[in-house]
Amino acid sequence: MEALIEKKLSDRLALLPVPVRLDLPGGRHVGPEKAPLRLSFADWTALAMLAQGQIGRVAEAYVEKRAEFDGRMRDLMTTVISLLPTSPVAAEGGWWAQLKRHAASVAQHTLQKDAEQVQFHYDVSDDFYALWLDPRRVYSCAYFRDAAMPLDAAQEAKLDHICRKLMLRGGDRFLDIGAGWGGLLLWAAENYGVDATGITLSKNQHAYVQELIDRKGLAGRVRIQLCDYRELGEAQGYDKIASVGMFEHVGAANIPAYFGKIRRLLKPGGLVMNHGITSGRLEPGSLGCGMGDFIDKYIFPGGELLHVHHVLREMAAEGLEMVDTENLRPHYARTLWAWSDALEARLDEARGILVQQLGEERGEKILRAYRLYLAGCAVTFEQGWVSLHQVLATRPDGEMSSGKLRGAQSAYPFTRDYIYR
Give the residue numbers annotated as catalytic, written as ranges.
377
Adjacent-strand bridge partners of 278: 387
CA distance 383 to 378: 9
- Beta strands 321-327; 386-394: pairing state: antiparallel
Nearest to 77 by CA among 291, 277, 351: 291
The torsion angles phi and psi of 84, rounded to 5 degrees, stand at -70, 130
